[in-house]
């Protein structure tokens, strides 16, 4: 290509299984509400895709406050999956999602495999929903309250059951990073039928008020997000890409501490096909479109024709 060609426009499109995004930048679950809550601050339709907060079968009030606390370079939250529940989501929120012009993905959480199956089956019948993201970080109440996602076989059983309940639906499995070896749940999810992997969810952590001697969060512990986790998330994406996603041809959505285009590009070089932004968008929602623009400028500068060429190019 002629380096002086100023009209050169890189191709930013990304394919998540059968769903094409116009660019790789997505919202991360739980940080951008159900639909247009951030719509006054950012033109969401300029993003590649929208992922909702987690939806559960029943309405949930969430954990007792305080539910968020800032830490150095990060944010701890213990929201506890507060949400309106499946019925109200379908009645009140889906009509808003129908106004979106970008692909919409709904994140699903549950306490039992049966709950995931039921929520996913109902949501898979709704045309505007282009795919489901399974939040596997939730406690499995039927198997001792341990998170599905920290056990590879529990992850596999959950994904396999949802795959069977919704054979046609694009299934994204969002992994928890709170494991010794991310490749084990990643492999289990793919073998059970995941179309896309999304990683990572938050890292379990806590903060202590030294005046009272008590945990700051009402729940005691919470999940750490934001820039503090970026190197950790990047490492897990790179491992999952090399060992599982690349050999199996499965796209990854990279998540964790992305605040600017350069961060998102690191994730793409590590193996992510797309990048989701959470905490940074809560601080400054307009950063989401700036990240799209920054990626475009980078590809132009580097004379890379398509974003797909950059995925997993780590040397």
Ligand X SMILES: Cc1cc2nc3c(=O)[nH]c(=O)nc-3n(C[C@H](O)[C@H](O)[C@H](O)COP(=O)(O)O)c2cc1C
* Sites for ligand X among residues 119-148 (CB under 6 A): 135
Shortest Å distance, C-beta 175 to ligand X:
10
Per-residue tokens: 78: 């213990």
Candidate list 255, 264, 270, 275; residue touching ligand X; CB under 6 A = 255
Between helix 230-240 and helix 183-191 the angle, nearest 10°, is: 50
| β-pair partners for 254 | 199, 275
Using Cβ positions, the residue closest to ligand X within the complex turns out to be 30
- The label of the residue with tokens 């990572």 reads 200
Find the catalytic residue in 32, 120, 138, 166. Answer: 138
- Distance, in Å, from the CA atom of 219 to the CA atom of 25, rounded to the nearest integer, reads 32
- Residue 23 lies near ligand X (rule: CB under 6 A): no
Shortest Å distance, C-beta 210 to ligand X:
24
- Distance, in Å, from the CA atom of 44 to the CA atom of 54, rounded to the nearest integer, reads 19
Between strands 208-209 and 50-55, the pairing is unpaired
Tell me the Cα Rg of the chain. 19
- Residue 54 lies near ligand X (rule: CB under 6 A): yes
Candidate list 48, 254, 256, 285; residue touching ligand X; CB under 6 A = 256
CB 202 within 8 A of CB 223: yes
Instruction: Identify whether 260 is a catalytic site residue.
Output: no
- Residue 56 lies near ligand X (rule: CB under 6 A): no
How far is CA 120 from its chain centroid?
A: 17
Instruction: Write each residue from 213 to 252 as x if it is in contact with ligand X (CB under 6 A), else as -, in one continuous string.
Output: ------------xx--x-----------------------
Residues in the site for ligand X, rule: CB under 6 A?
Answer: 28-31, 53-54, 75, 77, 79, 81, 107, 135, 174, 201-202, 225-226, 229, 255-258, 277-280
């Amino acid at each position: 290509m002629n380096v002086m060609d100023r009209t050169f426009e890189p191709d930013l499109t990304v394919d998540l299984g059968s769903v094409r995004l116009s660019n790789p930048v997505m919202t991360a679950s739980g940080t951008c509400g159900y639909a247009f809550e951030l719509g006054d601050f950012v033109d969401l339709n300029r993003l590649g895709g929208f992922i909702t907060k987690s939806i559960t079968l029943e309405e949930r009030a969430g954990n007792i406050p305080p539910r968020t606390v800032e830490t150095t370079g990060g944010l701890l939250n213990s929201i506890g999956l507060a949400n309106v529940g499946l019925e109200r989501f379908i009645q009140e929120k889906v009509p808003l999602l129908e106004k979106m012009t970008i692909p919409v993905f709904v994140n699903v959480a549950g306490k039992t495999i049966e709950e995931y199956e039921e929520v996913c089956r109902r949501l898979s019948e709704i045309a505007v929903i282009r795919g489901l993201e399974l939040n596997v970080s939730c406690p499995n109440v039927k198997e001792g309250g341990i998170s599905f996602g920290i056990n590879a076989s529990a992850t596999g059983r959950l994904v396999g059951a949802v795959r069977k309940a919704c054979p046609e639906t694009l299934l994204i499995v969002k992994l928890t990073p709170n494991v010794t070896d991310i490749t084990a749940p990643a492999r289990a999810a793919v073998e059970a039928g995941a179309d896309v992997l999304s990683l990572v969810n938050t890292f379990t952590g806590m903060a202590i008020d030294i005046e009272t001697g008590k945990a700051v969060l009402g729940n005691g512990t919470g999940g750490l997000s934001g820039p503090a986790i970026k190197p950790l998330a990047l490492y897990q994406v790179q491992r999952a890409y090399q060992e599982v996603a690349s050999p199996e041809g499965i796209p990854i959505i990279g998540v964790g501490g992305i605040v600017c285009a350069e961060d998102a590009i690191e994730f793409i070089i590590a193996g992510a096909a797309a990048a989701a932004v959470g905490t940074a968008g809560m601080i400054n929602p307009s950063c989401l479109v700036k990240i799209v623009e920054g990626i475009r400028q980078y590809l132009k500068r580097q004379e890379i024709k398509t974003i797909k060429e950059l995925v997993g190019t780590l040397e």
